[in-house]
Structure 1
Amino acid sequence: MHERKIPLNLNCGLDLIGEVLYGKWKIRLLWFIHQGHLRPSELQRKIPDASRRVLNLQLKELEEHELVTRKIYAQVPPKVEYFLTDFGKTLIPVISALGNWGDQHEERLRNVILKRMRENA
């Protein structure tokens, strides 16, 4: 079992959000599920840089945090779909606002990121 190196800190909203949304693909997963990409294979196609294992782990964590729910259909082969919970749907305006901010500052953010990458190379 994984043992935390840094003690859990849940003293404010930002700490709580970080604990729930920490993970490279979680925000994208929530957004794509919101857009109607419900099956793991669809999500994998939308995020090809992520391994299937990592996506499954992050989907499981989103489910444990009650942001998504998983439905397994009784058929052969089994079919699995993910849906946002009502609680998960409350994050969509926040994710949308973050995306809009990124779009508004796209050029500056890209330049800062590329500059940092060149300095660290």
Structure 2
Amino acid sequence: MNYLKKPLYTFLALSSLLSSCTLLNKYESFFDFDNVETKVTQQEIVYIYCDEGDIQEYVDDGWKIIDSETEEVPCSWKVERSRPGCKLEDKGCKISVPDKIGKQVKYILEKETIVPKEKEDGNQEIQ
């Protein structure tokens, strides 16, 4: 009985494949595959250091703020003596220390764009 199962399964698989092609052609006008638009989601990470810069230009361009993290960082540095009494010209006397402390804000942005179908020349435009 097992020797009949393999040809039966092969016949069933072949007949379903052949009939699916005719079904696809029958409903091709119902599914308009030529006018399909694709949505692409872009993500970008933007850092703003010491209040220099603005996230508003990204928001105006259609980006959405997904997440933000704030951290303290040095904004400027100054030179000091490493030990009292040494001259700044001496080797090993200069050290750099933070002068002003500010905030670094990390923004995670997301934007959806619609990619239209390919044009006649094969190029695509992103809206």
| TM-score (normalised: structure 2) | 0.25
Which structure features the higher share of strand residues?
A: 2
Which structure features the higher share of helix residues?
A: 1
Give the number of the structure whose alpha-carbon radius of gyration is greater: 2
| TM-score (normalised: structure 1) | 0.26
Which structure has the higher relative contact order (CA within 8 Å, separation 6+)? 2
